[in-house]
Amino acid sequence: MEDKQIIAAYSKTLKKLRIEKSISQEKLAFKAGLHPTYISLLETGKRQPSLSVIFRIAKELGYLPNEFVKKIEEAA
């Protein structure tokens, strides 16, 4: 899988799971210790998350990191 595909799958998955959990970008950002604008940039594929950000977001969405990555793989 190419980087662009990974970024697109991550963006799509993040937004989908956040909406399914009825969590706003602002609330997710606050709980994960991030800025709401950063969440927006991740969801639009304009930024790439670090591993620690992936872990923090996964936790706040109620997933183990490996479960979260599996969801991303399924979306690709």
CATH code of residue 17: 1.10.260.40
Cβ(11)–Cβ(73) under 8 Å? Answer: no
What total of structural domains would you count in the chain? 1
Question: pLDDT tens digits for 13-69?
Answer: 999 999 999 999 999 999 999 999 999 999 999 999 999 999 999 999 999 999 999
Give, to the nearest 10 degrees, the angle between helix 3-20 and helix 36-43. 120
Q: Is the overall model pTM greater than 0.85, yes or no? A: yes
Structural domain boundaries enclosing 7: 3-75
